[in-house]
Amino acid sequence: MTILAVNYFTHTGWYFFHWNPDAITSAPCHDLEVVAVWSKNFPKMLSEGNAKMLNVSGDDALDIVIPFGTGADGYDVPDTVCDLYFGGKRPCMGGVMALDGRTGDVLWTHWAKHEVFAITCQGDLDKDGTDDCVAGGRAGVRSIICLITSNTLSSINDQTLS
């Protein structure tokens, strides 16, 4: 999995030098500079989901929470796939990963039975003072995850919450 820096000005050359439609002038903020803070590679992982910036580690830096898949998703995938590619972690088809915002180190990984591609972290469901995440993905995978411990507060596979 590769995390890319996003440039919100999709055509920077056009935007910065065509600010005024009547004349070519330069726009405000034309001295933007991209500075790499850290770079990490996560082989055999992919993400279709949105990254969330949250304080998972409790320090003063925002951390990154990312839903992901492994490309090994499917039904009746043999255990040897998890053994060979993911060190025996089961399930190994996807999940949610928290990265330290300062270093990019993995804080925790919550594995799921299928790819996770949607996540929202907007409420403190377990009343520990930190927002928790509701994650969803392929084949009806849904989990409520504590951001501090990565423990599953609730997992809903083929059943309903009571």
Tell which residue, 118, 62, 109, has the closest CA to residue 89.
109
Does the residue 87 lie in any domain?
Answer: yes
Does the residue 21 lie in any domain?
Answer: no
Helix (H, G, I), strand (E, B) or coil at 82: helix
Does the residue 117 lie in any domain?
Answer: yes
pLDDT in tens, 85-112: 888 888 888 999 999 999 999 999 998 8
Does the residue 9 lie in any domain?
Answer: no
The count of structural domains within the chain is: 1
Report the distance separating Cα 75 and Cα 81, nearest Å. Answer: 12
pLDDT in tens, 11-39: 444 444 445 556 655 555 556 677 777 88
Q: Which helix (H) or strand (E) holds 121?
A: strand 116-123
Does the residue 34 lie in any domain?
Answer: no
Does the residue 92 lie in any domain?
Answer: yes
Q: How far is CA 48 from CA 1, 39, 55, 74, in A?
A: 10, 19, 22, 16
Contact yes or no for 121/131 (Cβ under 8 A): yes
Query: Encoding tokens for residue 48?
Result: 């279709």
pTM: 0.72
Domain extent at residue 121: 40-155
Does the residue 7 lie in any domain?
Answer: no
